[in-house]
């Protein structure tokens, strides 16, 4: 599957692109089956919600063959490279497991802010491909994006100081500095006045589609998603690709490899994942 000129221009102008049917039902079913096993592992790569359910699971590609192949899937890599205009490598991968009834929100933010401030990534030549593992509707916490907001650059709204009541969850978040970038009390968020200004100008779009759809979104686009109060899961596999010429500089205190990968080699692609 090759992206058309229209799709390329849409991404460049709007900062996101929905591509249906990139993965077949068989492939999605295999990913879902593997996911259920993968997220059982109690380890630092597993991030919990305040209610104790699994929020995210980082770097599943490093321990699971199907997730590894999906991250190197030829059409996905070709599309991401085309959208970014150069060779790419995998910067981050995670499952966001927004389970029915319990999946929590993601506040408004820009991803590149974290990669710039926490990892030193030089430029926003980076995007995320979000593979829908379930049908995403208006009810199960779709991602909301503000079209064209990727053109705003990095918006430096104040750093958020999370107010978490004394609880096991506070202890959990305090236990590792990197957790403030991954839990529902995000470190760098966008403030209401910023969102209001951009929504007034460009509106808002909820990224919906059938399982197997891929949402590509630019590292600087403003995005958020609400709780999943529906009885339907909204699991997704998110792959962040960075341009090889935009790799992370060496640093004394890098974030863990499972959050910011430092193998800058372009992936060897695979034709199929099952
Ligand atoms: C993200 O902000 O990276 C993901 C949000 C979501 O899973 O809805
Ligand atoms: Mn994000």
Q: Is 213 in the pocket of ligand 1 (CB under 6 A)?
A: no
What integer pLDDT is reported at residue 185 of this predicted model?
82
Q: Is 266 exposed, middle or buried (0-12, 13-18, 19+ CB in 10 A)?
A: middle
What integer pLDDT is reported at residue 157 of this predicted model?
80
Distance 259 CA to ligand 2 centre (A): 13
What integer pLDDT is reported at residue 170 of this predicted model?
87
What integer pLDDT is reported at residue 76 of this predicted model?
98
Q: Which of 35, 58, 95, 96 to mutate to test the pocket of ligand 1 (most atoms within 8 A of CB)?
A: 96
The pTM (predicted TM-score) of the whole model is 0.96
Calpha distance 250→24 (Å, rounded)? 39
The ligand minimizing its distance to the Cα of 228 is 1
Q: Which 3 state secondary structure label does DSSP give 32?
A: helix
Instruction: Give 34-93 pLDDT, tens digit per residue.
Output: 999 999 999 999 999 999 999 999 999 999 999 999 999 999 999 999 999 999 999 999
Q: Is 225 in the pocket of ligand 1 (CB under 6 A)?
A: yes
What integer pLDDT is reported at residue 267 of this predicted model?
87
What integer pLDDT is reported at residue 33 of this predicted model?
98
What integer pLDDT is reported at residue 181 of this predicted model?
85
Q: Is 143 in the pocket of ligand 1 (CB under 6 A)?
A: yes
The residues near 221 (Cβ < 8 Å, ≥ 6 apart) are 15, 16, 110, 145, 146, 149, 150
Low-confidence ranges of the chain (pLDDT < 70): none
DSSP state of 142: P
């Amino acid at each position: 599957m090759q992206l058309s000129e229209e799709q390329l221009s849409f991404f460049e102008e709007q900062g996101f692109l929905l591509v249906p049917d990139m993965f077949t039902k068989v492939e999605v079913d295999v990913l879902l089956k593997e996911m259920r096993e993968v997220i059982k592992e109690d380890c630092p790569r597993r991030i919990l919600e305040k209610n104790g359910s699994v929020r995210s699971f980082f770097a599943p590609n490093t321990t699971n063959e199907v997730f590894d192949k999906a991250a190197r899937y030829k059409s996905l890599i070709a599309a991401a490279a085309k959208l970014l205009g150069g060779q790419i490598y995998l910067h981050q991968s995670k499952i966001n497991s927004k389970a029915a009834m319990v999946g929590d929100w993601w506040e408004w933010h820009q991803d590149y802010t974290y990669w710039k401030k926490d990892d030193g990534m030089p430029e926003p030549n980076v995007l995320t491909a979000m593979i829908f593992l379930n049908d995403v509707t208006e009810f199960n916490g779709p991602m909301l994006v503000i079209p064209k907001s990727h053109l705003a650059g990095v918006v430096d709204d104040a750093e958020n100081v999370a107010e978490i009541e004394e609880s096991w969850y506070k202890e959990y978040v305090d236990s590792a500095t990197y957790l403030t970038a991954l839990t529902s009390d995000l470190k760098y968020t966008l403030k209401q006045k910023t969102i209001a200004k951009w929504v007034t100008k460009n509106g808002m779009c909820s990224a919906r589609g059938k399982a197997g759809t891929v949402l590509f979104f630019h590292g600087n686009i403003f995005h958020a998603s609400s709780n999943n109060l529906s009885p339907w899961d909204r699991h997704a596999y998110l792959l962040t690709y960075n341009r090889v010429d935009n790799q992370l500089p060496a640093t004394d205190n890098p974030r863990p490899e499972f959050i910011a990968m430092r193998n800058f080699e372009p992936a060897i692609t695979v034709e199929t994942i099952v």
